[in-house]
Amino acid sequence: MNSEKKIIFVDMDDTLLTTDKKICSENIEAINKMVLAGHIFAINTGRPLNAVKKLVTGLNMNKNCYILSFHGTNIYDCEKDKIIHADSMDASESIKILKAIDNEGIHSQTFTIDGIYTTRDDDVLKEYNKYSDEPYKIVDDYDELKGLALHKIMAIDFNNHGRLVKFQEKYANATSKNFSTFFSCPEYLEYTMKGADKGNGVRFLSDYLGIPVSNTIACGDERNDISMLRAAGLGVAMINGNEEAKRAADYITRNNNNNGGIAEVINKFILKTE
């Protein structure tokens, strides 16, 4: 085991990214310094890989950098331009959920490594894609997806969180065997492969690189980040984060996502310049 290197796992929205979906200069500078010093920088997000790549153009994402997409289920080595680990959901069971969401009149969509599939070319898809800019394909029936590797399902409602909660509760028994389900934000109800979460991504990459979990730091702001805050050697919640995430953390930043919160963590716990 390499006892000198550290890994920092960082959520994107409202953690690494500012409110306007940029990476502030303080964070860029700190990340580049830690990578040059030989430490590992890993993004751990629910977002698809292609969407992450588009948002991190300001970073030197090459050597010592990894992207864990779809809540840690797909792990990409930036230097080798290669996916080193991938899990996917049971396609037939996934199609049942997608049809159930559709039948409730809620926008549904699912993701492959290549983009979004949905039966609804609606305003919700357009609004979602303002931020994700993912390629998408409209299908007549979700049965067309049989045989594809599906990584995530989303039910989206920008106006009625309670409607999503009711759907989650209604189908809890039907989905509990094969899927993990959670809200990444009030508008997004998500389903992933059972047992797949950001915490498992932390454990996999640490083991893969031969770095003790005690040498890992995880930073996040939402409930879906809690598994990695608990899995890492040091769990960090953003000051702007959800109260549940803060309660699960070992440290809460002084600076928020718009003012170099990640730089604060890197400088304090990795570069030790604070």
Q: What is the pLDDT of residues 111-120, one digit of tens each?
A: 999 899 999 9
pTM greater than the 0.85 cutoff? yes
Please identify, among 178, 193, 208, the residue that sits at the C-terminal boundary of a domain.
193
Determine the length of the chain. Answer: 274
Residue 80 burial (CB count, 10 A): 10
CA 156/CA 41 separation, integer angstroms: 30
- Does residue 169 sit within a domain? yes
CATH of the domain at 144: 3.30.1240.10
Same structural domain for residues 202 and 82?
A: yes
Same structural domain for residues 64 and 132?
A: no
The beta-strand segments (E) located in 105-210 are 107-112, 115-118, 136-138, 152-156, 179-185, 188-193
What pLDDT score does 1 carry? 58
Sheet with 216-220: strands ordered across: 82-86, 74-77, 65-69, 40-44, 7-10, 216-220, 234-237, 251-252
- Does residue 135 sit within a domain? yes
User: Domains in the chain: how many in total?
Assistant: 2
Please identify, among 139, 172, 193, the residue that sits at the C-terminal boundary of a domain.
193
Same structural domain for residues 130 and 186?
A: yes
Q: With 90 as the cut, is the pLDDT of residue 69 above it? A: yes
CATH of the domain at 56: 3.40.50.1000
Please identify, among 193, 228, 249, the residue that sits at the C-terminal boundary of a domain.
193
Same structural domain for residues 179 and 101?
A: yes
- Does residue 1 sit within a domain? no
Q: What's the average model confidence in pLDDT over 47-70?
A: 90
Q: Over the stretch 195-216, which tens digit does the pLDDT of each residue have?
A: 889 999 999 999 999 999 999 9
Same structural domain for residues 135 and 217?
A: no
- Does residue 256 sit within a domain? yes
Greatest Cα-to-Cα distance within the chain, rounded to the nearest angstrom: 56
Q: Closest by alpha carbon to 52, among 29, 34, 30, 72?
A: 72
Domain span at 56: 7-87+196-270
Q: What's the average model confidence in pLDDT over 266-272?
A: 97
Same structural domain for residues 167 and 182?
A: yes
- Does residue 2 sit within a domain? no
CA 238/CA 224 separation, integer angstroms: 13
Do residues 199 and 245 touch, judged by C-beta distance below 8 A?
A: no
Same structural domain for residues 205 and 157?
A: no
